[in-house]
Chain A
Amino acid sequence: MAPVAPRSGDAIFANVERVNAELFTLTYGAIVRQLLTDLEEVEEVNKQLDQMGYNIGIRLVDEFLAKSNVSRCVDFRETTDVIAKVGFKMFLGVTASVTNWDADGTCCSIVLEDNPLVDFVELPDTCQGLYYCNILSGVIRGALDMVSMKTEVTWIRDVLRGDDVFELQVKLLKQVPEEYPYKDDE
């Protein structure tokens, strides 16, 4: 079969089923609120959101690979680029950019200027330690985990905490070599 050309994030987003973002935003908000009530500790909520994101990420990566036709990324640089340009676009309809690379190319920042998760959101004083969008970092971590990259994803800047953009630091911890269950010559 001839290789299929990778599709741009815009092209995929134009073709997938879409829903009104308000429903998504408000649902996420209601979940965070409920978690805050149930778990009480802000730290616990952060952890739980990250866990939920991770679980979503490990499933979402399949849809991503199926729809985007991306071929194997040569390095981590390309991987983060694909996440920012195609991944964010095809699911959330927004584009992110990648900056702040360190010297050995294992750590960078994904910068998000527009984020549908935080439309209408203000953090009350009691939730100052909350990483409201922590689900996103979980999704990225989970998705990369499924393509053999162990990463650490942390928030550097957060609009809800007074910064001008969202900045996620993605740090490649280790690349797990793939183990083939089948023979080399197949």
Chain B
Amino acid sequence: MREEINSSKWHRPVIVGCMKESSLSNRKLRYPTTLGYWALPTFERDRDREMVREVSESCIDSLLTEMVACYSNRFYANKPELAARRIEAIGYQVGHQLSERYTMERPRFSDHLEAIKFICKDFWSELFKKQIDNLKTNHRGTFVLQDNKFRWLARMSVDPSADNVEDNSSPTAENKAAQAMSMHLYFPCGIIRGALSNLGIPCTVSADISSLPACVYLSFLYSNEF
């Protein structure tokens, strides 16, 4: 609490790393009616006063690597689909909370495309200091976000024996590399799903790597019914 009130850059002390779901949703319910409700420093004032807090990139890199290793090698070594679900759930939680913070002093998005553009521009910039490079849609509820230099995979090395994708000489090594890689993609997928669902767009998100480490496609679809 102390910390939040002193250094919070935001109107409300929301978002808690380890807190009961109920208290989160209680606060959320108050949100639409809270103009001036929380007598806390405003976003602008605080941003002027202090820089956004940062940590070394290695911190998040090693945390993610270790989290993925923990779930996919230790807890669920033989059940990759369960490991994937857990990793995605962690991402979902993070995305949900981050989008709550980053949309705090914005007007409501008028349509889904607005929200998706927000993810591609502002949200992505906060996370990776760059925007999504390309956004495509089939106008039927599927969007494809393309990041040409996805930071979290940029320093990942692939098993050298799996280098020759063309001749398929070592399918096992290749599979292994691909599987390890895909485990690392569930987390960002979860982040996007969490962020969008917080913006009122329930969807499914999947990722695809075409040419590593250059390019990652994150595609997601939502039903048109909403």
Measuring CB to CB, which residues of chain A are less than 8 angstroms from any residue of chain B? 13, 16-34, 36, 38, 48, 51-52, 55-56, 59-60, 63, 90-93, 116, 118-124, 127, 130, 132, 135
Contacts and interface: CB of A to CB of B under 8 A. Distances in A.
Contacts of A38: 75, 86
Contacts of B214: none
Contacts of B89: 34
A7 B27 CA distance: 45
B23 to A, nearest CB: 8
B67 interface: yes
Given A38-B75, A55-B69, A121 B55 contact: no
Interface string B53-75: 11111111011101101100001
Given A26-B97, A27-B63, A33 B18 contact: yes
Q: Is the interface of A mostly helix, strand, loop or mixed?
A: helix
B4 interface: yes
B35 interface: no
Contacts of A121: 16-19
B63 A119 contact: no
Given A19-B57, A92-B55, A120 B93 contact: no
B90 A30 contact: yes
Top 4 closest pairs, chain A to chain B, by CB: A29-B17, A30-B93, A18-B54, A17-B57
B98 A26 contact: yes
B54 A52 contact: no
Contacts, number: 139
A20 B16 contact: no
B127 A20 contact: yes
A52 B71 CA distance: 11
B59 A92 contact: yes
B126 interface: yes
B19 A122 contact: yes
Interface residues of B, number: 40
A146 B110 CA distance: 54
A130 B4 CA distance: 21
Given A52-B70, A120-B16, 8 more contacts: A16-B57, A18-B56, A22-B101, A26-B98, A29-B18, A36-B18, A92-B59, A93-B56
Nearest to A32: B18
Contacts of A33: 17-18, 90, 93
15 contacts: A21-B52, A25-B17, A28-B17, A29-B16, A29-B18, A29-B93, A30-B17, A31-B90, A33-B93, A34-B86, A34-B90, A121-B17, A121-B18, A122-B1, A124-B19
Given A52-B66, A55-B69, A24 B58 contact: no
Contacts of A92: 55-56, 59
A26 B17 contact: yes
A23 B13 CA distance: 16
Nearest to B86: A34
